[in-house]
Structure 1
Amino acid sequence: MIVPMTVILAAISLYPFIFAVRLSLTNASTINLMAPRFVWFKNFGDILISARFWQSTVLTVVYVVSAIALEGALGLLLAILVDKLAKAQKWLVSLLITPMLISTILCGIIFRLQLNPQFGVISYYLNQLGLGGNWLDTHHALVSMIFIDVWQWTSFIFLIAFAGLKALPVEPFEAARVYGAKTWQTFWMVTLPLVRPVLTIAVVFRLMDAFKAFDHIYIMTAGGPDFATTTWSVLAYNYAYTSNHFGRACAMAIILLIIVTVVVKQLLKLAKWR
């Protein structure tokens, strides 16, 4: 049963990948999609020497690193706090994972309205705190995108970390208590090393997802204003549907795939080494 399913899944995944690789080597557009001309690696070269690509790279790295760092820290903190509660754990877990269950497109629509400088509720309260202004302008748009990602996906890290904490043996914590370890020492020397494998898997999944974040960004800003939120995924979309250059869009997607694969592999290697 496993072998047929593996073959089917491989075939389903393999054909689009081969098609994308082939398309990345052509000048494919809506005009010549059925019979594009091969330009080989020209698309890759054009992307790598493009100033827009490097601007997008900086934005993507800032977005991913900021979002993952905040989600990892907040998710683990929430998991530890909820794990220490004797009552209402089930209710709190159900409440905290709610944002993760909401569609990213719906999140984009909701926060686009809430951050509207004229009638948005969040904008109103930010203004009351002296943080007024347009949080979707050139200077603040990326911060807003990171905030939305953290709001929605901290719950994922929390859920995985909470499950990991529940599975930990009690003996190391009892030993730490007997030896008089302080709370921060217990966390740093016992809790964190034991939960690190589970936390690493959660971070890797979120890392892959954050690199290809698109829905809420495009819904809210379409990569703007003035390319302030044009991450790699948005740039690939713009190549395809704004510039009408499907070949370059596929090349961009393959570059993204290679970079994410290398980053994830190095992260897993680092985690295994430690």
Structure 2
Amino acid sequence: MKKIAIIALALFVQNAFAQVNRFVYQVTMKSDAANKNDIKTENAYLDISQEKSLFYSENRVKRDSIMQKTFQSGGAIAFNRDQMEGLRTSINYSVEKDKKDQKTYFKDRLGRDMYSYEEDRPLNWKISPETTKIGDYKVQKAETDFAGRKWTAWFTTDLPYQDGPYKFSGLPGLIVKVEDSQGDYSFDLMKNYKIAELANLSQRGNIIKVKRKDFLKQQEKYRTDPMSFMTQGGGGGGGFAQTVVVGGAGRGGGGGNRNPADMKKRMEERVKDEAKKNSNPIELQ
């Protein structure tokens, strides 16, 4: 009985101090314009605290955990390459929403560094009186045009959060489902539970603050000349003001005895292949 009481007390304390709510969304993507039958599906987390929320890939966290254990062991624990391949993600970005300042920040990796910009396009929702039920939640319909797509969202006031997956927020409740009119992208709430604190996502290299329009320029440059982003200073010579927020030692190209020319060729082929498979991105404008 004493042991049961201790366990119950521990669970109570854990729940009492768990200030973050994690919502798990299934993300469905048709990112290859030439092959709409290639449907990618994976889970992403929306972690919501009192101050902010964070949206990111579940696989990213799992990969980071494996890498961290490997580094901490000094290489004594070898990670399984097949396992790492199975945890590849199509959601390489993260989205942070600051509740106090009502601002949304987008981060994505280009080469060795992470680029960050503040979203400068407001979401203007048109709320419909139409309601239905999704799972356990009574939901209401809302529509918006954003980044070249028409989106339909279903939100619930059963949960006290004016938030949602990706950059979506600003409705009177939590977004349970949001999908574009072409059916290329959808975010569907699967489950939720409490966690102790917001995730601390690993940040290799530097975080470089830019304007959104300049990020798009750098992104296009990366697709055509990826190796320029893999050297010290990388794509930083983009001709615009930038602020390095967090420094990182950054691990070099690695590979020791690998032929640099072969590495360059493989890198360029990989990036071009990824660009081809992402010819139907979530944001068209």
TM-score by length of 2: 0.28
TM-score by length of 1: 0.29
More strand by share: 2
More helix by share: 1
